[in-house]
A and B are shown apart, each in its own frame.
Chain A
Amino acid sequence: MSLHNRIAVLRAEKKLSRARLASSVGVNPQTIGFLERGDYTPSLELAFKIAEHFGLPVEAVFSPRPFRTLSEQVYKLHKREA
Chain B
Amino acid sequence: MVVNVSDANNNVKKERSWFWKKIGFWLVSAKSGTLGPEEWAKVRKMSRSGKNRRTRRLFALLWVPVVAFEIAVSLRVVRVDPWAGLMSAAWLVVLMGLTVRALRIGFAQVSLEDRALMDYGAEFDALKEKQRGEIFQRAVRDGLFGRVKVDEHEAEQRLRAQGDAYRLLAPALIVFVAGYWAVCLLGPFQAARGALAVTAVVVTWLAALVLAAPTMIRMWTQPDEPGETAAVAE
Contact = CB atoms under 8 A, between A and B. Distances in A.
A20 B110 contact: no
A31 B117 contact: no
A3 B87 CA distance: 51
By size class, the interface of chain B is: 10 to 19
B153 A31 contact: yes
A28 B151 contact: yes
Contacts of B153: 27-28, 30-31, 34, 40
Contacts, number: 46
A43 interface: yes
A75 to B, nearest CB: 36
A9 interface: no
B41 interface: no
Interface string A1-22: 0000000000000000111101
A46 B152 contact: yes
A69 interface: no
B152 to A, nearest CB: 5
B123 to A, nearest CB: 10
B152 A19 contact: no
Interface string B132-156: 0000000000000000010111101
Contacts of B118: 19-20, 22-23, 29
B114 interface: yes
Cβ-closest 8 pairs across A and B: A19-B117, A31-B153, A27-B151, A19-B118, A29-B114, A19-B114, A17-B117, A28-B151
